[in-house]
Amino acid sequence: MANVAAPTQLHNKTIALLIAHPDDEAMFFAPTVLALSRKETGNRVKILCLSSGDAEGLGETRKKELVKSGLLLGLKSESDVMVIDNPALFPDSMTTHWDTDEISSLLRTTFMTSQSSSGSPKPTIDVLITFDPKGISSHPNHISLFHGARAFISSLTQPGSGADRAVSLYTLTTVGMARKYAGVFDRLFTPLLVRGGMGSHGHVMPSSLVFMHGLGQGGWRTAREAMTAAHVSQMRWFRYGWITLSRYMFINTLELEEVK
């Protein structure tokens, strides 16, 4: 089963993946990272994780696991993985929503230069990718990233922001339970349900991105390895079920957010 990617891809971009916990990149975004980090795309992919996943006291271990996973998925350097370890602001919690303004401020600090040659702050990324407002699993930390990312992107478009260019925001589409656990078979439905074309208002970025891969190396097998060989501390029996049955191990659909 061959690896397949959308006909319109991102090329020669600096791309940041915003996640909440170490292993989000493998459990949810592996097809995206594998596709966008391929050498022929000319992209530079970075991961920013807003917690160390220290709910069980394994924060330091999980940081190292995230770096290993990122490199397996195609990141170029350990320095392309950034972990924020501030449980006071961003606790690893199934019941806590993180503050939108704090996330937006952190993104500005991380991905904006203080000043460009034109005298205006300059984004250091072209594209930001994160969860959609349903967060795939309804996890409040995931949902918080969507709102924080939108606030950051919106701040760049406001009069007086000083930013010399925009950043495109793509979010990972949440699907219903039946499709979520259809595994590789969701490849039959995804092409029929994705809108095509370019973004509205003259936006030059594609309105949707679809990344699908097969079972071999560089596809599902590599995504599986990012979990089983890298995130060893997180491997419980139910993780194997997710790895085998979740469509997010095989397919990612990303939608361009129109932010004003």
For the chain, the average pLDDT equals 88
Write down the pLDDT at residue 201. 45
> Looking at per-residue confidence, does 199 or 259 come out higher?
259
Residues 6+ apart with CB under 8 A from 139: 20, 94
Structure tokens at 137: 């699993």
Strand 14-19 and strand 127-131: the pairing is parallel
Residue showing tokens 């078979």: 185
**Model pLDDT for residues 130-144, shown as the tens digit of each residue:** 999 999 999 999 999
Residue 126: pLDDT above 50?
Answer: yes
Residue 180: pLDDT above 60?
Answer: yes
Answer whether 18's CB lies under 8 Å from 12's CB.
no
Residue 160: pLDDT above 90?
Answer: no
The mean pLDDT value for 231-236 works out to 92
Write down the pLDDT at residue 138. 93
The mean pLDDT value for 226-233 works out to 95
Write down the pLDDT at residue 195. 62
Answer whether 114's CB lies under 8 Å from 163's CB.
no
d(Cα 47, Cα 50) in Å, to the nearest integer? 10
Structure tokens at 74: 């195609």
| Domains identified in the chain and CATH numbers | 4-256 (3.40.50.620)
Helices 100-111 and 140-157 meet at what angle, rounded to 10? 60
Cβ neighbourhood burial of 137 (10 Å; 0-12, 13-18, 19+): middle
Structure tokens at 14: 């600096």
**11-15, 78-82, 158-162, 231-235: which has the minimum mean pLDDT?**
158-162
**Model pLDDT for residues 184-221, shown as the tens digit of each residue:** 888 777 776 666 554 444 457 888 999 998 777 778 99
d(Cα 114, Cα 117) in Å, to the nearest integer? 10
The mean pLDDT value for 69-94 works out to 96
Residues 6+ apart with CB under 8 A from 91: 51
**Helix, strand, coil tally for the chain in percent (to 5):** 40, 15, 40
- For 141, other C-beta atoms within 10 Å of its C-beta total 25
Write down the pLDDT at residue 4. 46
Structure tokens at 78: 């350990």
d(Cα 87, Cα 52) in Å, to the nearest integer? 8
The model's pTM is 0.90
Write down the pLDDT at residue 58. 84
